[in-house]
Amino acid sequence: MHSLDLKKPDGRSLTLYSTRPISNAEGMSAPSPFQDPQGANPHLRWHPMRGEWVAYAAYRQNRTFQPPPEYNPLAPMKDPSNPTELPEGDYEVAVFDNRFPTLTGEAHDPPSLDVRTEPGNGKCEVVVFTQDPKAALAELPLARIELLLQVWADRTRRIASENPTIQYVLPFENRGAEVGVTLHHPHGQIYAYPFIPQVPARMLEQELQHYQQHGENLLVSMVRAEIATQERLLYEGEHAVAFVPPCARYPYEVWVTLKAPTPSFGALSDAARADLARALKTVLMKYEGLWQRPFPYLMAWYQAPTDGQEHPETQLHAVFWPPYRSKERLKYLAGTELAAGMFAMDVLPEATAAQLREVQVNVDA
Amino acid sequence: MHSLDLKKPDGRSLTLYSTRPISNAEGMSAPSPFQDPQGANPHLRWHPMRGEWVAYAAYRQNRTFQPPPEYNPLAPMKDPSNPTELPEGDYEVAVFDNRFPTLTGEAHDPPSLDVRTEPGNGKCEVVVFTQDPKAALAELPLARIELLLQVWADRTRRIASENPTIQYVLPFENRGAEVGVTLHHPHGQIYAYPFIPQVPARMLEQELQHYQQHGENLLVSMVRAEIATQERLLYEGEHAVAFVPPCARYPYEVWVTLKAPTPSFGALSDAARADLARALKTVLMKYEGLWQRPFPYLMAWYQAPTDGQEHPETQLHAVFWPPYRSKERLKYLAGTELAAGMFAMDVLPEATAAQLREVQVNVDA
């Protein structure tokens, strides 16, 4: 993997990644649609009743930048009078600081309130998967998906080493208008938190308890059961698997992970990474094939916290949450899901697994 | 409060409630659009990674009943050849068993899987607020809202006494197409769980910790601070308050509660109930007035578990989560909210409180 670090005129960082040396690296500079310093200053407030942090970044709603509908800030810049976020060049993946971060290392002086407050310390990055605005992650070659897995490892390592207060790095992709996405150029985001957020914290508790009781990583145990059962399995390679979990909270929920204990992106061997890319692409292609149309989802990658501890109890894995409960109907989160935290499913995981198993895909490159 | 218990032909219960005696109670029978026995058999699966139960009620998606668009099952039945869920009569509020329950006391024989399973024990009720299909909770008289608070107390008591395995009773209302509602006749739901679900369980933990440290109910402390600050306060009566919490996770989030320790609906004095109805109606009218159009929301009521224990640490309160982040834009829950559990707000609670404070309402009856 090759990379090139650049700095935008407004002070934000840009890193270009490629499997080959980036040829025109010498004269390359980082553009920005924004010339003035960023000045983002989010803060956190403690929610005493829920025991969790909430982030406030009020300038996000007030941004005055109103681009024309055809303007794509993630496309390589062709015309300096109409700057985008990315330069022209033969890089493959690009990562830059979000101009409107929910969390940033520069946050300072939170307001004083009746609830505890903290600066909105952390980092929010945009990860551009390809220069092609019309592509989808499912259409990218395996080599690009492998590169992306390496990029996520590199970002995790760099974010944590540049800001030692970071405890958790979460890469995710929101895809499709149905989940609120307005910019359809293939891209994801990375959020880095100065604490372990509630969902992965709860997961780590469960994993640690299992590890202490059984001496094995919980998800590795679940994977073994899925392989034995086969019923919900969508992919099994030498290293990686994909399946609909028996406890799916969303119709068409899928998990992608490794068979062997692997706490984070940084722990992937070359062979495991290649197989994980194939598992991921298989799932993405099955999704696209299911209804023969672009398939929206939230894809999140859980990994070990960057808290300086060993985490043999936890396992790198992706979770896909699609918003549809059937071809024509969205699943809305309502009373029992949001207010109680008990998800109600009107379709069995075995039924959605059967549908996804039937979708034939050919992952050749 | 007067009530009348009836049984539907398919075995489901119906209770009619009124502030006055129900005049035609003698000859009244409970209709149902469904004549065959319900036969619902949901099950629960344990989610080992999240440490929570997920409910599966596969028959909910497969229901064959496809009513015409003008058909309103919550309207009083006028024509026996086109049965609805409710009879004609001078009752005010009606409660009946959901025909498609996510949880039911009749659940049995869950499937055997690699994750723990249990029958989908519990109860799902529909609560009809008025006979007028065009009304809204905000438009109902204070006396009706007081009655509704009494009904919620009565349902909590009855559900828990009829099924001693019930641990938590949660009344809520999903309102508006934006939150997935297709049936616009004013109504809410009650979910009763055989365990304390994750969100109230977490809340109880936080509340108990505060109570043990400070000898006071956490929300009562927060209310005192809100009254002192005034900034986010929307209503203050002798007994009840409504305010935008300083830690709001949704724009226009509002909490409605009591000043004095009150663990549940059953603990409300007549005076406190009357004032709570006024606080609730004030919030509802401010919502309707904000953009001069019907305002969608999820309203959930938290109260003490029905686990036979005293819960001085907890406080009855309503939480409103509206789906809009501004007049024209929905708030989508995406990566950081769903995958991490850290909510990101682009509007400050003080700003939405100021908007709601400005909406003048006249709650005279």
Residue in A97, A161, A60, A254 with CA at minimum distance from that of residue B343: A60
Residue A284: inside a domain: yes
**Mean pLDDT, rounded, of chain A:** 94
* pLDDT for B331: 87
**One domain for residues B40 and B170:** yes
Residue A334's domain comprises 199-358
**One domain for residues B49 and B180:** yes
**One domain for residues B176 and B308:** no
* AA letter at B145: I
Structure tokens given for A306: 């960057």
Q: Give the 3-state secondary structure of chain A.
A: CEEEEEECCCCCEEEEEECCCCCCCCCCCCCCCCCCCCCCCCEEEEECCCCEEEEECHHHCCCCCCCCCCCCCCCECCCCCCCCCECCCCCCEEEEECCCCCCCCCCCCCCCCCCCEEECCCEEEEEECCCCCCCCHHHCCHHHHHHHHHHHHHHHHHHHHHCCCCCEEEEEEEECHHHCCCCCCCEEEEEEECCCCHHHHHHHHHHHHHHHHHCCCHHHHHHHHHHHHCCCEEEECCCEEEECCCCCCCCCCEEEEECCCCCCHHHCCHHHHHHHHHHHHHHHHHHHHHCCCCCCEEEEEECCCCCCCCCCCCCCEEEEECCEEECCEECCCCHHHHHHCCEEECCCHHHHHHHHHHCCCCCCC
Question: In this structure, are strands A233-236 and A324-326 parallel, antiparallel, or unpaired?
Answer: unpaired
10 Å Cβ neighbour count for B24? 12
The rounded distance, in Å, linking the Cα atoms of A171 and A152 is 7
Per the listing, tokens 């409107």 go with A100
Would the pLDDT of A67 be above 70? no
Domain boundary among A148, A182, A197: A197
Report the b/e string of B182-211 with b at 16+ CB within 10 A.
eeebbbbbbbbbbbbbbbbbbbbebbeebb
**One domain for residues A168 and A24:** yes
The rounded distance, in Å, linking the Cα atoms of B260 and B262 is 6
| Candidate from B54, B61, B191 with C-beta closest to A247 | B54
Residue A60: inside a domain: yes
**One domain for residues A219 and A193:** no
What percent of chain A clears pLDDT 70, i.e. is strictly above it? 98
Kindly report, residue by residue over A246-267, the tens digit of the pLDDT.
Answer: 999 999 999 999 999 999 999 9
How many structural domains are present in chain A?
A: 2
Structure tokens given for B41: 């058999």
Domain boundary among A162, A197, A232: A197
Yes or no: say if B156 and B163 are a contact pair by the CB < 8 Å rule: no
Residue A364: inside a domain: no
Alpha carbons within 13 angstroms on the beta-carbon side of residue A241 total 22
Yes or no: say if A281 and A234 are a contact pair by the CB < 8 Å rule: no
Determine contact: B339 vs chain A, CB below 8 A.
yes
Would the pLDDT of A113 be above 90? yes
Residue in B118, B305, B326, B293 with CA at minimum distance from that of residue B207: B305
Residues 6+ apart with CB under 8 A from A223: A241, A243, A257, A258, A259
**Residue of chain B minimizing CA distance to A60:** B346
A214 is catalytic: no
Stretch 166-205 of chain B: residues touching chain A, C-beta under 8 Å? 168, 170, 172-174, 179-180, 189, 191, 193, 197-200, 202-203, 205
Structure tokens given for A90: 């033969």
Structure tokens given for A291: 């209804």
Would the pLDDT of A242 be above 90? yes
**One domain for residues B155 and B276:** no
For range A65-79, the mean pLDDT: 82
* pLDDT for B82: 87
* pLDDT for A23: 85
The rounded distance, in Å, linking the Cα atoms of B240 and B259 is 6
Yes or no: say if A250 and A331 are a contact pair by the CB < 8 Å rule: yes
The rounded distance, in Å, linking the Cα atoms of B95 and B88 is 14
Residue in A225, A200, A349, A248 with CA at minimum distance from that of residue B53: A248
**One domain for residues A129 and A233:** no
The rounded distance, in Å, linking the Cα atoms of B130 and B322 is 22
Would the pLDDT of A76 be above 90? yes
Kindly report, residue by residue over A15-62, the tens digit of the pLDDT.
Answer: 999 999 998 777 888 999 988 888 899 999 999 999 999 999 987 555
Q: In angstroms, what separates the C-alpha of B21 from chain A's closest C-alpha? A: 32
Confidence label for A244 from pLDDT (cuts 50, 70 and 90):
very high
CA B327, distance to chain mean position in Å, is: 24
Residue B222: inside a domain: yes
* AA letter at B144: R
Per the listing, tokens 């009743």 go with A49
Would the pLDDT of A69 be above 80? no
The rounded distance, in Å, linking the Cα atoms of B363 and B365 is 6
**One domain for residues B115 and B208:** no
The rounded distance, in Å, linking the Cα atoms of B148 and B141 is 11
Determine contact: B328 vs chain A, CB below 8 A.
no
Alpha carbons within 13 angstroms on the beta-carbon side of residue B219 total 31
**One domain for residues A282 and A153:** no
Q: Would the CB atoms of B180 and A334 count as touching at under 8 Å?
A: yes
Would the pLDDT of A163 be above 90? yes
The rounded distance, in Å, linking the Cα atoms of B283 and B28 is 36
For range A77-98, the mean pLDDT: 93
Q: Which residues of B touch A347 (CB under 8 A)?
A: 58, 61
Cα distances (angstroms) measured from residue A263 to each of A150, A207, A259, A302:
15, 12, 11, 9
Q: Would the CB atoms of B193 and A340 count as touching at under 8 Å?
A: yes
Of B185, B187, B210, B311, which one is the catalytic site residue?
B187
Q: Kindly report the CATH number assigned to the domain that includes residue A57.
A: 3.30.428.10
Would the pLDDT of A63 be above 80? no
Q: In angstroms, what separates the C-alpha of B99 from chain A's closest C-alpha? A: 14
Residue predicted with more confidence, B319 or A81: B319
Of A187, A210, A311, A317, which one is the catalytic site residue?
A187
Yes or no: say if B276 and B314 are a contact pair by the CB < 8 Å rule: no
Q: Which of B46, B253, B329, B342 to mutate to test the interface with A (most CBs of A within 10 A)?
A: B342
Residue B365: inside a domain: no
**One domain for residues A179 and A252:** no
Residue B7: inside a domain: yes
Q: In angstroms, what separates the C-alpha of B201 from chain A's closest C-alpha? A: 9
Domain boundary among B144, B178, B196: B196
Residue A365: inside a domain: no
**One domain for residues A144 and A218:** no
Would the pLDDT of A134 be above 90? yes
Alpha carbons within 13 angstroms on the beta-carbon side of residue A87 total 23
Per the listing, tokens 């030692």 go with A164
Q: Which residues of B touch A343 (CB under 8 A)?
A: 54-55
**One domain for residues B257 and B333:** yes
Residue B353: inside a domain: yes
What number is the ipTM of this complex? 0.95
Would the pLDDT of A240 be above 80? yes
Cα distances (angstroms) measured from residue B199 to each of A34, A290, A330, B88, B209:
41, 34, 23, 38, 16
pLDDT in tens, chain B (365 residues): 999 999 999 999 999 999 999 987 778 889 999 888 888 999 999 999 999 999 999 876 555 456 676 789 999 998 888 899 999 999 999 999 999 999 999 999 999 999 999 999 999 999 999 999 999 999 999 999 999 999 999 999 999 999 999 999 999 999 998 888 888 999 999 999 999 999 999 999 999 999 999 999 999 999 999 999 999 999 999 999 999 999 999 999 999 999 999 999 999 999 999 999 999 999 999 999 999 999 999 999 999 999 999 999 999 999 999 999 889 888 888 899 999 999 999 999 999 999 999 999 999 87
Stretch 278-317 of chain A: residues touching chain B, C-beta under 8 Å? 298, 300, 302
Confidence label for A364 from pLDDT (cuts 50, 70 and 90):
confident
Q: In angstroms, what separates the C-alpha of A364 from chain B's closest C-alpha? A: 30
Yes or no: say if A301 and A172 are a contact pair by the CB < 8 Å rule: yes
* pLDDT for A61: 55
Yes or no: say if A262 and A302 are a contact pair by the CB < 8 Å rule: no
Question: In this structure, are strands A297-302 and A254-258 parallel, antiparallel, or unpaired?
Answer: unpaired
Residue in A344, A324, A245 with CA at minimum distance from that of residue B56: A344
Residues 6+ apart with CB under 8 A from A9: A30, A31, A32, A34, A35
